[in-house]
Amino acid sequence: MIPMPRPIFQKYVAPIRAEDYPIGTVAESGVLLSGSADWRRERPVFNADLCTGCLKCYLACPDGAVVREGKKVVLDERFCKGCGICAVECRLKAIRMAAERE
């Protein structure tokens, strides 16, 4: 299975002076300037023993936060918003939602 490329992650630092703002886009294609999970209250926890690698959660995740790793899946926490769709979609209950600080 060919590994899917992940976005290049760069922290956005706002220019201080108006003249330092770029003309055009602030980053190249494939670069994300910030994570999207700062306000997440819950996160999915994957049980690798129950996971069959069906990839349903991978396909259902609206944020591309489920990543294929070999025949299993793992979470890219930087982009998971904690919506819980993956846990609902997993028929084998291999994903449970846990409090962010658990």
User: What residues from 11 to 70 belong to the interface with ligand SF4 (CB under 6 A)?
Assistant: 44, 46, 51-57, 61, 63, 65-66
The number of residues making up the chain comes to: 102
Choice between 22 and 62, CB closer to ligand SF4:
62
Choice between 8 and 59, CB closer to ligand SF4:
59
Parallel, antiparallel or unpaired: strands 31-32 and 42-46: unpaired
- The Cα–Cα gap between 66 and 75 comes to 5
Q: Which residues contact 61 (CB under 8 A, 6 or more apart)?
A: 80, 85, 86
By CB under 6 A, name the binding residues for ligand SF4: 44, 46, 51-57, 61, 63, 65-66, 73, 75, 80-86, 89-90, 92, 94-95
